[in-house]
């Protein structure tokens, strides 16, 4: 697979030229996000390290994380897709999305994730999970719009915010 999408959006695999955009996403992350997922004070991951990540990325579980770009202009907006689940109580792949701040609140995350959900169903997955910090109102809203429900299971974290587990039956 190289690309799929919706009327407005193209979802495609990563190219080395995506390193700068990917690093910008890291630079924009909320300070409450755990430090290992934000840029360090001395600038890591660097552009070269981002390029290395792209080169070795294997799109597992399928379809993996996909770059989301606007059809027509080709502007890269963010990424959306599936990652390995991070919660021991479930084996469901996790839905993940991350968009540049300049493009928030245009419905892009919901639209891209709907496409990922369709593809997940076609690939034979029965459920998807998603983990989200309790403070992340926008993400919780996107997941609610997509039909994810709170399982009530959560990991308490006073530093980064409680991590909630949501699930959707496909």
Ligand X SMILES: CC(C)(COP(=O)(O)OP(=O)(O)OC[C@H]1O[C@@H](n2cnc3c(N)ncnc32)[C@H](O)[C@@H]1OP(=O)(O)O)[C@@H](O)C(=O)NCCC(=O)NCCS
| Stretch near ligand X under the rule CB under 6 A, chosen from 37-45, 53-61, 99-107, 148-156 | 99-107
Angle at 8 between CA 84 and CA 122, to 5 degrees: 40
- Spell out the residues 6+ positions from residue 169 whose beta carbon is closer than 8 angstroms to its own: 126, 127
In the sheet that holds 94-99, the strands lie side by side as 3-5, 9-12, 65-70, 76-83, 94-99, 127-133, 163-169, 149-155
Count of residues that interact with ligand X, criterion CB under 6 A? 18
| Stretch near ligand X under the rule CB under 6 A, chosen from 4-12, 50-58, 102-110, 119-127 | 102-110
Shortest approach of ligand X to residue 138 CB, angstroms?
Answer: 4
CA–CA distance, 163 with 156 (Å, rounded to integer):
6
Bridge partners for 3 per DSSP? 12
| Stretch near ligand X under the rule CB under 6 A, chosen from 36-44, 55-63, 130-138, 147-155 | 130-138
Per CB under 6 A, the list member of 92, 99, 115, 116 interacting with ligand X is 99
Angle subtended by helix axes 137-145 and 108-123, to nearest 10: 50
Task: Work out the burial of residue 4: count CB atoms within 10 Å of its CB; fewer than 13 is exposed, 13-18 middle, 19 or more buried.
Answer: middle
105 binds ligand X (CB under 6 A): yes
Q: Which is nearer to ligand X, 51 or 94 (CB)?
A: 94
| Stretch near ligand X under the rule CB under 6 A, chosen from 49-57, 117-125, 134-142, 151-159 | 134-142
Per CB under 6 A, the list member of 123, 137, 147, 162 interacting with ligand X is 137
User: Contact positions toward ligand X, by CB under 6 A?
Assistant: 78, 97-99, 104-110, 132, 136-139, 141-142
């Amino acid at each position: 697979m190289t690309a799929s999408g919706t009327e407005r959006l193209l979802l495609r695999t990563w190219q080395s030229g995506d390193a700068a955009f990917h690093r910008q996403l890291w630079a924009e992350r909320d300070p409450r996000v755990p430090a290992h997922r934000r840029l360090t004070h001395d600038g890591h991951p660097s552009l070269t390290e981002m390029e290395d990540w792209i080169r070795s990325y294997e799109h597992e579980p399928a379809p993996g994380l996909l770059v989301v770009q606007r059809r027509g202009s080709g502007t890269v907006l963010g990424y959306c897709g599936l990652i390995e689940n991070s919660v021991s109580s479930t084996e469901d792949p996790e839905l993940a999305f991350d968009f540049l701040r300049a493009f928030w609140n245009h419905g892009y995350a919901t639209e891209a994730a709907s496409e990922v959900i369709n593809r997940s169903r076609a690939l034979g997955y029965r459920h998807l999970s998603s983990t989200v910090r309790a403070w992340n109102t926008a993400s919780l809203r996107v997941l609610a719009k997509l039909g994810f429900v709170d399982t009530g299971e959560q990991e308490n974290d006073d530093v980064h915010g409680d991590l909630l587990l949501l699930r959707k039956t496909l």
